[in-house]
Amino acid sequence: MIDEEAQYDALLGGSEELPSNISLSKFVACRSQEIQIMKNSLLTQTGSKLAFQTLPKHMRRRAMSHNVKRLPRRLRQIHLNQMKKSGMPTQQKRPSRKYRRKPRNLLEEYTKRANKKYKWLQTHIWHAKRFHMVEKWGYKLPYHACDKAFRACYRAMTQHCLLQDISYYSCVEIHGDKSEIIEKIKLLCKPGEGLSIGAKAFSEGNREGEICLYDSFQKAIGNVMFQWQPSIDEKCKLWLWVHAAFYSTTKNTLVECFKNCQIEINELRLELSRFRLSGPLSNPVLQDALALIDIYDIKLVPESPLKKYIDWPENKAVIINQCEFWKKLASVASLHEVSPHIVLPLIVKDPRLNLPKKRIKSVLTFGKLEFDQIPVNISANPLWDKTIRTYSNENKVSDSKIVDLQSGLLVPGSDLKGTIGHIPIILIQRPGNKTQNVGLGSGWDVILPTAWAKPFWIAFVMRGARVGGLRESDSMLYEMGKSQLLHPDTDAGFEEELRHSNQHRVTFFQKPPNKRINYSKFKIASPLLCNWRLLLKDWNSGFTGEFSVLRDKKQLHSINAFLNSKTHPVPQCPQNCLIPVRLECEKRGSLAEYAIICVPKCKSDLSEVLLEPNCEDVNKEKRKELRRAHQSLLKKLRKKRKLKSELASDDHSEILRSYTEKMRALWLPEPTTIRHSCSREVVGFVSKGGFSFSIGKSAGTGYITSDCLSELVDFRNKVLLRNTNSRQYKTANLSVIVE
């Protein structure tokens, strides 16, 4: 038997012996206090070094003190605690791009940015990636595309399809007795400006109309589009589509008008969106993108309000007529052949079910109209029901579910055959021009539930529609020969002109003095603003400060006949009015904004090259003297600063502000007269000018005073135009705009 090996203590002469085995749990429990002390000593830095300074040199990395993730994991919390104690902010690295671009996180980020000051359209994210965005009328709106698309958008309007999101037009619903609504709305309108809101053409709800609203003081607010609900009852609904520039004014006026009536006013701006398609291919784009429902094979939830609407026998017959009429419209070569402003409701399938894999171009199919007249009773629409609108907005299938269904297709890329969603929409025809360039600007307006705006938008884009912004809206009106949307006699139009003028002033004074245009030498009294009030005061000494744009169609036609005939007498027009006109240059040359419209003195002015005589700048020496005095004052202040350590900043800023205001007043002095500011009498301004692609030469739209018609007897429709940066007059043909 082998002797047991002697233990360490016995070898040293001791008597202590260790047991042959121990209990681990009891041993750790006895040493727990020692282990805890050791852990605390590791986590607590007792020395003067920071956490990253305790690392060996070969493990240290650059910017460890700023980026905690460069440290080993065991030292990160220690480093963060040290940073907090020292008062330095713990700057964390922003999440990765992959994390930020997840749809859920992306929508949360955009929701945070969408503040209450500026509202976003449903297509804002799509536009923000591709367009220059501007803040106007309480919205973030697309102005123009980032690429060079000016001519491309014009080609789309004339040859293809131009798509625009005009959801900044908000819908106001008026519900009550129809006759009472008509009587009250007529108080906000003026006779002679076209068909009224109670006209038979609109009262049945099969067409959309347009009127100009006035406030209680008979001051113009702006043009609104309206549509009646098809109903035979005395109580019905009226939709007003109001521009965002004067939406609040219109709403307050309507509330005041219906204050003591049993009329209900509701805002639908969050429930409905509106798109505008213009051009000859707008009809093929809609024909390809909109898949009509099968009335005999509808698989909806039985309790859904849309299912109940479709199952009603009368509604089922109307839906069949609507579908047949829409199929017949596929053979229309040009939309101006269709009855103008017709309202066509449809119920279509989810546009994501038949979305093409890549962008295609819809093709126009030529043919003849297969119907002689519009079917009766096709304007009934489920969107008038609030429960159906709410159901359509709240029961939209998510994009992820659509992707899951597409991934389960037997043949990848084929259309989905499910009945996931049925969406009620409204199509409204726009006839475009009716005289010159017939059909230019014609197309469809699409009204749909707000939640479905983006799927339909992508469906239209994938069929070849080119997207435009606010610049294209102004360009379309200009090419059609119409005046701009916001007239100068409205508050919205005045604010828009003032905002535009301030932008030009800022640009003007950002240039150095030797690069600025000296308008005094060109005898331009108001170069950066259409000063209508001063112009009207020059032509009428009894002007009180209030004016209006002439909208009476009979009077406008009478003025047009006077301009186009040598024997027609001067028409009687109200004083202090502006007449909307279109001007076309007879010869070469460009026409710019703020150009002045003048009356010739003699017939030789129209045949010869006419130049404005040279004029001296009377403020030139005053500007030099002011600059010398200002420089001398700055030298004195500089000497005072050397003697005195502190100088009151308020006095210094006030001196600079006063000098800037005086110098700007000498560059752009306040005009005292506009009519007699140059050698030819000024009768108006050009509010929009440039080269017109539709007529192939320079043209413009503007306004002239009604008091100047007697001066045009000898020249009729021949006037002179002059840009603000030129001395040369151009001959132009004048015509009145009658909308």
Mean predicted confidence (pLDDT) in 6-25: 72
- Where among 231, 250, 269 does a domain terminate? 269
**Has residue 49 got a pLDDT over 80?**
no
Bridge partners (DSSP) listed for residue 353:
none
CA distances from 171 to 157, 400, 613 (A): 26, 31, 54
101-110, 531-540, 567-576: least confident range: 101-110
CB 449 within 8 A of CB 410: no
Tokens representing residue 139 in the block: 């919205």
Looking at the fold, whether 589 and 690 belong to one and the same domain comes out as yes
Q: What is the Cα–Cα distance from 509 to 497, expressed in whole angstroms?
A: 18
Looking at the fold, whether 76 and 111 belong to one and the same domain comes out as no
The answer to whether residue 607 is domain-embedded is yes
Looking at the fold, whether 663 and 676 belong to one and the same domain comes out as no
Looking at the fold, whether 64 and 152 belong to one and the same domain comes out as no
Q: What is the Cα–Cα distance from 378 to 295, expressed in whole angstroms?
A: 15
Q: Is the dihedral of CA 541, 547, 551, 552 positive or negative?
A: negative
The answer to whether residue 221 is domain-embedded is yes
- Where among 249, 269, 289 does a domain terminate? 269
197-201, 314-318, 619-623, 645-649: least confident range: 645-649
More confident residue, 463 or 99: 463
Mean predicted confidence (pLDDT) in 215-242: 90
Q: Is the dihedral of CA 551, 552, 557, 558 positive or negative?
A: negative
**Has residue 149 got a pLDDT over 80?**
no
Q: What is the Cα–Cα distance from 387 to 307, expressed in whole angstroms?
A: 12
Note the pLDDT tens digit of each residue in 402-459: 888 777 776 666 666 655 678 899 999 999 888 888 888 889 999 999 989 999 999 9
Query: Among the ranges 85-99, 350-364, 471-485, which has the highest mean pLDDT value?
Result: 471-485
Report the CATH number at residue 188: 3.30.70.1400
User: Helix crossing, 649-667 with 620-643: angle to 10°?
Assistant: 170
**Has residue 648 got a pLDDT over 60?**
no
**Has residue 295 got a pLDDT over 80?**
no
Split at pLDDT 50, 70, 90, the class of 98 is confident
Report the CATH number at residue 713: 2.40.30.110
CB 583 within 8 A of CB 732: yes
The answer to whether residue 116 is domain-embedded is yes
Q: What is the Cα–Cα distance from 219 to 203, expressed in whole angstroms?
A: 26
Looking at the fold, whether 174 and 70 belong to one and the same domain comes out as no
Secondary structure (H, E, C), 61-72: CCCCCCCHHHCC
H-run or E-run covering 445: strand 443-449
Task: Say which residue the tokens 């016995």 belong to.
Answer: 10
Q: Is the dihedral of CA 32, 33, 35, 40 positive or negative?
A: positive
- Where among 236, 269, 302 does a domain terminate? 269
The answer to whether residue 428 is domain-embedded is no
Provide the pLDDT for residue 422: 85
Provide the pLDDT for residue 1: 43
Provide the pLDDT for residue 4: 57
The answer to whether residue 576 is domain-embedded is yes
Note the pLDDT tens digit of each residue in 662-710: 999 999 999 999 999 999 999 999 999 999 898 889 999 999 999 889 8
**Has residue 483 got a pLDDT over 70?**
yes
Mean predicted confidence (pLDDT) in 266-273: 91
Tokens representing residue 342 in the block: 């017709």
Whole domain around residue 688: which residue ranges? Answer: 510-614+672-736
Split at pLDDT 50, 70, 90, the class of 107 is low
More confident residue, 517 or 43: 517
**Has residue 2 got a pLDDT over 50?**
no
Note the pLDDT tens digit of each residue in 175-193: 999 999 999 999 999 988 8
User: Helix crossing, 453-462 with 282-289: angle to 10°?
Assistant: 120
Looking at the fold, whether 591 and 718 belong to one and the same domain comes out as yes
Split at pLDDT 50, 70, 90, the class of 649 is very low
Question: Residue 272 has what DSSP assignment?
Answer: E
Number of domains in the chain: 5
Note the pLDDT tens digit of each residue in 347-394: 998 888 888 888 888 888 776 666 556 777 788 888 998 999 998 888
